Amino acid sequence: MRKFSDKIATLVFWGTALSLGALLAGVLAFVVNRGWAALSWEFISEPPRDGMTAGGIWTPLVGTLELIAVSMVATVPVGVGTGLYFSEYATDSFFTHVLRQSIRALAGVPSVVFGLFGLSLFVIFLGFGSSMLSASLTLACLSLPLMVTASEQAFRAVPQDYRDASYALGATKWQTIRKVVLPSAASTIITGVILSIGRVAGETAPIIFTGAAFYTPGVAQSLFDEVMALPYHVYVLATAGTNIEATRPLQYGAILVLVGLVLGISSVGVWMRTRLTRGQ
Amino acid sequence: MLNKWKVFVATLIRGLGVAGAAYASEIVVNGSTTVLPFAQIAVERFAPAHPEVKISISGGGTGNGIKGLIDKTTHIANASREIKSSEIEQAKANGVTPFETAVALDCIVPVVHPSNPVKNLTFAQLKKIYTGEITNWKDVGGENAAIAVVGRDSSSGTYGTWQELVVEKGDKDQKSRVTPKAQVTASSGAMLTTVAKNKLAIGYEGIGYVDKTVKAVSVEGVEASLATAKNNTYPLSRKLYMYTDGAPAGDVKAFIDYVLSPDGQKIVTDTGFINIH
Amino acid sequence: MLHTRKRGTTSPHFGGWGDRVAARTALSVSTVCILIMGFILYFLVKESLPVLKATTLSELLFGMDWYPQETPPALGMFPLIMSSLAVTFLSSAIGLPVSLAIAVFTAEIAPRRLRNLVKPLLELLGFIPSIVFGFLGMVVVAPWLQDRFSLLTGLNMANASALLGMMMVPIVGSLADEALCAVPRELRDASYALGATRWETIRRVVLPSALPGILSASLLGVMRATGETMVMLMAAGGAAVIPRSLFDPVRPLTSTIAAEMGETPVGSEHYHALFFAGLILLLITLAINLLSAKIEAKGFKLKGGNL
């Protein structure tokens, strides 16, 4: 009887895993299958045309890359600096405790609330308007906790012996950090950046009211331009066209590119991390 | 103190931004999703001929577009209703004089799934369906099946017009409300998909959005069309507007002139709306 | 991992100029994180408080009518709050058991090679943007549900919750797996030595000792579900009523904000009400966060102190 229930349990767990695997594989296969037909070089390299019923996704694709770049410029220094603080400087003080709790709370804030926050701080209060800058900064705030956690772990993974050796050679603390700790943690930090990018690239809710444009004829050229973004473009294509059925192939194409982009970036990150942890 | 800091940061970053921009002027178009289809194509066609103008268009809804005009963040506010007096007051307080240009005509058409046998509905029937009094298709000449009422977001101009012309029609003091059980869709396109995919649904659309995936229902025996809208026999038609701060000038005028030109008006008719002339 | 080690104090401090600048910089940079969280709270409170001039708190929280565009607006959020709670509950009921089963599978049952393959894949799935699930819910799941069960509408609570439940699995599954793996080998060996089968060992030994980790993973999943927006916007139907059946359309707080924020004039009562909705969401997630911190702290204590 006990042996029997053990068999049943094993069967149930395998069954759950396999059916979930099959379900997700099915979803991916469906997206690839539907989207494949729309894919072509022109689809990638041309802007939307004819009321978004033809053409490609060049403008939103570039817009998403721009948003990623600007948000990373904002989030990486702060994230790495905070990680460094936690790992090298933090004492068991009230400040550290508040910082810890803030980052924890930040990680739990719903994405749409980040959107509200970005709207009231960047768009209205600081007067940046609905723009690439506002949207990027909002995304930067959203990815900050990820960045902090990743870089703190990276710094902590550097063996204390390295630091001690550097001190023994007469290096100051800052010299040790710059010449020893940062270089040894660099690859892990880059992995963290890549994973943050994977998270940020697909976000829709935070940019709807902070800077995403329905349509711009050309690629956004300054921080104060509104910018088309791929995830929002998918939403627009799926809900706002006059001829939704006609644009169905474009929608699946855009989704496929979005999923490909996000999964491509994140799998590089996951792969790098697996290699790094194995190396240790 | 805070203000100084704010101005400093804004100026600094603006400086960076301007350094990167190479345009002589900028037009931001925002507002009604109903106006979007032809306005977006107009932007698309207008841009190549005017490379010195940076132009972007979003569809945040009529209220949002007019808000942008008042805040001076939007140069052209697309609207599927007339500007409200409260909005004019706000604008005046901010030193903005809204100027109205009608750019197209639109009929709001009740739509159902193509398999639905119902062909015509009266105002009274539409009202009862939307307020939740009639919940079965057999009460309006259809099959014995429940009605899935689909509405628009309360801030869209299409909602406003529908509310005023259908739901509140004949109301005295107590205004009727759309039943809270109605599904709410966030855009005209989402409404179309919802109705096209649901055999039991009824919704309403600007005529430009109506295509083969849904069936248009006539109102009080009048079918929505170019002719019936123009001679005012179709009871649910409205004008679509572009609002500007004062009479259009410069590149804004060039764009609005383009929309009103024969080429621009052809875009209007091609996307299923009715030209204004 | 989350506890501060006193590394900074035990390392030798050299009082040089460069050192002090570096330390100050790290300190001020990390202050930014606190500032951002502070700003989020400040702006949400500041922008939502004016709504209390237009209506009362109890009317906001328990009012049944959401007609924000009328004059005066009806700003009863009870149906929205109930929708949010109902979807969160239903999606957790779907997603959490599956997540846990997957975690047990990868941690305890799957052969090593398969585990090394499944773990990264599971994590990758967590990166799929929510808009993709929303899109599938609207275009594929909804028509299918409608035809299969002849429903009034396929855009409903069941649709959105199933999708959300699926989205939970990678996050909760990965974290719960880590919690299970952290259970010491010796405990399992002891159980096997006493003649227990694998299932008995999992059920009586591994799961109980990993419980705090599993709970906090689940709470994270619940938090994600409460805050998810795009799936709700595209697949939940959007009717502002308290759901009475699994197949009723619902309008959670998140999608209400996303759909209406762009369309309401800045400074209107409706605008402030939407910020109030955001504040409710923020408070819910903060509460869940606190709860999970408590559980973690307790978990550490159970295991006898610092990890």
Q: Do residue B193 and residue C266 have CB atoms under 8 angstroms apart?
A: no
- What percent of chain A is modeled with pLDDT above 70? 97
Find, in chain C, the residue whose alpha carbon is nearest to that of A164: C11
Query: C176 in a domain, yes or no?
Result: yes
Q: How far apart are CA C236 and CA C134, in angstroms?
A: 9
What letters, b where the CB count within 10 A reaches 16 and e where it falls short, cover C89-108? ebbbebbbebbbbbbbbbbb
Q: Are A148 and C33 in contact (CB under 8 A)?
A: yes
pLDDT of amino acid A137: 96
Query: C282 in a domain, yes or no?
Result: yes
- In order of A192, B187, C58, C79, C266, the CA distances from C263 in angstroms are 37, 11, 26, 21, 9
Residue B261 has pLDDT above 90, yes or no: yes
What HEC string does C64-111 produce? CCEECCCCCCEECCHHHHHHHHHHHHHHHHHHHHHHHHHHHHHHHHCC
pLDDT of amino acid C7: 45
Give the tokens for residue B105: 């005509």
Find, in chain C, the residue whose alpha carbon is nearest to that of A6: C199
Query: C12 in a domain, yes or no?
Result: no
Residue C115 has pLDDT above 70, yes or no: yes
Of A84-88, B60-64, B203-207, the range with the lowest mean pLDDT is: B60-64
pLDDT of amino acid B11: 53
Q: Do residue A204 and residue C38 have CB atoms under 8 angstroms apart?
A: no
Q: Do residue A126 and residue B9 have CB atoms under 8 angstroms apart?
A: yes
pLDDT of amino acid C15: 60
Q: Do residue A167 and residue C11 have CB atoms under 8 angstroms apart?
A: yes
Q: Do residue A223 and residue B36 have CB atoms under 8 angstroms apart?
A: no
Contact residues on chain A for B22, CB-CB shorter than 8 A? 221
Mean pLDDT computed over A4-18:
90
Residues of A (65-104) whose Cβ lies below 8 Å from C: 77-78, 81-82, 84-92, 96, 98-104
Q: Which of A222, A243, A244 is nearest residue B20 as measured by Cβ atoms? A: A222
Chains that touch C (3 or more CB pairs under 8 A): A, B
Q: CB-based contact (8 Å) between B194 and chain C?
A: yes
Q: Are B98 and B115 in contact (CB under 8 A)?
A: no
Q: How far apart are CA A197 and CA C141, in angstroms?
A: 29
Residues 6+ apart with CB under 8 A from A243: A51, A53, B211
Q: Do residue A242 and residue B33 have CB atoms under 8 angstroms apart?
A: no
Residue B5 has pLDDT above 50, yes or no: yes
Q: Quick count: other Cβ atoms within 10 Å of Cβ B133?
A: 13
Q: How far apart are CA B40 and CA B78, in angstroms?
A: 11
Confidence of residue B24 (pLDDT cuts 50, 70, 90): low
Q: Do residue A27 and residue C136 have CB atoms under 8 angstroms apart?
A: yes
Tally of domains within chain C = 1
Q: How far apart are CA B171 and CA B166, in angstroms?
A: 10
Confidence of residue B13 (pLDDT cuts 50, 70, 90): low
Give the tokens for residue C305: 């102190």
pLDDT of amino acid A63: 94
Residue C154 has pLDDT above 90, yes or no: no
Confidence of residue A50 (pLDDT cuts 50, 70, 90): confident
- Measure CA of the first residue to CA of the last residue in chain B; give whole Å: 55
- In order of B35, B82, C11, the CA distances from B105 in angstroms are 10, 13, 75
pLDDT of amino acid C307: 38
Give the tokens for residue A6: 């053990």
Residues of B (83-122) whose Cβ lies below 8 Å from C: 87, 90
What is the pLDDT of chain A when averaged over all its residues? 89
Confidence of residue C241 (pLDDT cuts 50, 70, 90): confident
More confident: B206 or A14: A14
Q: CB-based contact (8 Å) between B68 and chain C?
A: no
Mean pLDDT computed over C295-307:
60
Contact residues on chain C for B63, CB-CB shorter than 8 A? 263-265
Contact residues on chain B for C241, CB-CB shorter than 8 A? 180-181
DSSP assignment, residue B246? S
Query: C46 in a domain, yes or no?
Result: no
Residue C187 has pLDDT above 50, yes or no: yes
Contact residues on chain A for B14, CB-CB shorter than 8 A? 224
Q: How far apart are CA C110 and CA C181, in angstroms?
A: 13
Residue C12 has pLDDT above 60, yes or no: no
More confident: C12 or C128: C128
Residue C2 has pLDDT above 60, yes or no: no
Find, in chain B, the residue whose alpha carbon is nearest to that of C267: B67
Q: Do residue A205 and residue C9 have CB atoms under 8 angstroms apart?
A: no
Find, in chain A, the residue whose alpha carbon is nearest to that of C232: A205
- Per residue in A121-173, pLDDT (tens digit) is 998 889 888 889 999 999 999 999 999 999 999 999 899 999 999 999 988 88
DSSP assignment, residue C229? -
The partner residues of C99 in beta bridges, in order of sequence, read none
Q: Do residue A127 and residue B196 have CB atoms under 8 angstroms apart?
A: no
Give the tokens for residue A76: 């990486």
Mean pLDDT computed over C39-45:
95
What is the pLDDT of chain C when averaged over all its residues? 86
The number of angstroms, rounded, from the C-alpha of C187 to the middle of its chain's C-alpha atoms is 31
Q: How far apart are CA B110 and CA B257, in angstroms?
A: 32
For residue C72, say if its preceding peptide bond is cis, omega within 30 degrees of 0.
Answer: yes
Residue C1 has pLDDT above 70, yes or no: no
Contact residues on chain A for C307, CB-CB shorter than 8 A? none
Confidence of residue C243 (pLDDT cuts 50, 70, 90): confident
Residue B179 has pLDDT above 50, yes or no: yes
Mean pLDDT computed over C53-60:
88
- Tell me the ipTM for this assembly: 0.90
Q: CB-based contact (8 Å) between B198 and chain C?
A: yes
Q: Do residue A99 and residue C30 have CB atoms under 8 angstroms apart?
A: yes
Find, in chain C, the residue whose alpha carbon is nearest to that of B79: C263
Q: Are B229 and B216 in contact (CB under 8 A)?
A: no
Mean pLDDT computed over B2-12:
55
- Per residue in B32-85, pLDDT (tens digit) is 878 888 898 899 899 888 888 888 888 777 887 888 898 888 899 999 888 888
Domains and CATH numbers, chain B: 2-105+239-270 (3.40.190.10), 106-237 (3.40.190.10)
Confidence of residue C231 (pLDDT cuts 50, 70, 90): very high
The number of angstroms, rounded, from the C-alpha of A131 to the middle of its chain's C-alpha atoms is 19
Confidence of residue B254 (pLDDT cuts 50, 70, 90): very high
Contact residues on chain C for A155, CB-CB shorter than 8 A? none
Q: Do residue C282 and residue A17 have CB atoms under 8 angstroms apart?
A: no
Query: C231 in a domain, yes or no?
Result: yes
Query: C233 in a domain, yes or no?
Result: yes
Q: How far apart are CA A184 and CA A166, in angstroms?
A: 13
Give the tokens for residue C53: 């001039």
Domain hosting residue C188, numbered range: 61-302
**Angle at which helices A58-84 and A248-279 cross, to 10°:** 30
Mean pLDDT computed over A185-191:
90
**Burial of A37 from C-beta contacts in 10 A (0-12 / 13-18 / 19+):** exposed
Contact residues on chain B for C137, CB-CB shorter than 8 A? none
Please name the helix (run of DSSP H) or strand (run of DSSP E) that holds residue B107, with its range, or none. Answer: strand B98-112
Q: Do residue A128 and residue B209 have CB atoms under 8 angstroms apart?
A: no
Q: How far apart are CA C104 and CA C202, in angstroms?
A: 8
* Amino acid sitting at position A87: S
Q: How many CA atoms lie within 13 A of C207 on its CB side?
A: 12
Give the tokens for residue C231: 């799936």
The CA distance from B176 to the nearest CA of chain A, in Å, is 28
Mean pLDDT computed over C181-190:
90
- What percent of chain B is modeled with pLDDT above 90? 31
Q: Do residue A205 and residue C105 have CB atoms under 8 angstroms apart?
A: no
- In order of B64, C75, C145, C172, C236, the CA distances from B68 in angstroms are 6, 24, 40, 42, 30
The partner residues of B144 in beta bridges, in order of sequence, read none
Q: CB-based contact (8 Å) between A115 and chain C?
A: yes
Q: Which of A49, A126, A240 is nearest residue B36 as measured by Cβ atoms? A: A240
Contact residues on chain B for A133, CB-CB shorter than 8 A? 13, 17
The CA distance from A137 to the nearest CA of chain C, in Å, is 11
Q: How far apart are CA A191 and CA A272, in angstroms?
A: 6
Q: What are the phi and psi torsion angles at B185 (to 5°)? A: -110, 145
Domains and CATH numbers, chain A: 57-279 (1.10.3720.10)
- Which of A20, A265, A275 is the best residue to mutate to test the C interface, defined by the most C CB atoms within 10 Å of its own CB? A20
Q: Is B96 left (phi over 0), alpha (psi -120 to 50) or beta?
A: beta
Q: Are C286 and C227 in contact (CB under 8 A)?
A: no
Contact residues on chain A for C197, CB-CB shorter than 8 A? 2-3, 5-6
Q: Are C163 and C236 in contact (CB under 8 A)?
A: no
Contact residues on chain A for C102, CB-CB shorter than 8 A? 16-17, 20
Contact residues on chain A for C130, CB-CB shorter than 8 A? 202, 204
Mean pLDDT computed over B114-135:
92
Mean pLDDT computed over A97-119:
93
Q: CB-based contact (8 Å) between A112 and chain B?
A: no
Q: How far apart are CA B193 and CA C135, in angstroms?
A: 12
Q: Do residue A271 and residue C120 have CB atoms under 8 angstroms apart?
A: yes
pLDDT of amino acid C9: 42
The pairing of beta strand B98-112 with beta strand C74-75: unpaired
Residue B21 has pLDDT above 70, yes or no: no
- In order of A123, A127, B247, C197, the CA distances from B73 in angstroms are 10, 10, 17, 69
Residue C114's domain is classified under what CATH number? 1.10.3720.10
- Which of A49, A221, A222 is the best residue to mutate to test the B interface, defined by the most B CB atoms within 10 Å of its own CB? A222
Query: C33 in a domain, yes or no?
Result: no
Find, in chain A, the residue whose alpha carbon is nearest to that of B5: A126
Q: How far apart are CA B253 and CA B246, in angstroms?
A: 11
